[in-house]
Amino acid sequence: MAAEQSAPVAAFIADLAEHGMHAEVQGPAVVYSVYAVAGALAGTEVPTAVSTSELAGWPAVPPHWLHFENTVRFATTNTDANECLDGWLRHSRDIGAWSTDRPPIVNWFAHVRGVIKDAIA
């Protein structure tokens, strides 16, 4: 773990690792891949990221913006390139009510997979 990582960033990375996912800080973001189970990208690993600054409240408060390479497109979306890696965009996605009935990272996976399901070819 890099010394400059905040406790919430380290916790997010550890939560991902507990579920078999490798994640690393690259510049302003934590980058990892999610296996798409539905939609146009089904059956592929989709690189995704979140801004380290948005993890300040993890696990009590989930990030709002999801980062994807700019080749991942959606029919409707609100994007910008703030705190993104080169060639990536972040997409505004509200997770809604943050369930406390299961581990936060499981909620996060469900949210990210739901967003990826809506990507278009």
Q: Note the pLDDT tens digit of each residue in 19-50.
A: 999 999 999 999 999 999 999 999 999 999 99
What was the pLDDT predicted at 100?
83
Mean pLDDT of the chain: 94
SS (H, E, C) the chain: CCCCCCHHHHHHHHHHHHCCCCCEEECCEEEEEEECCCCCCCCCEEEEEEEHHHHCCCCCCCCCEEEEECCCEECCCCEECCCCCCCEEEEECCCCCCCCCCCHHHHHHHHHHHHHHCEEC
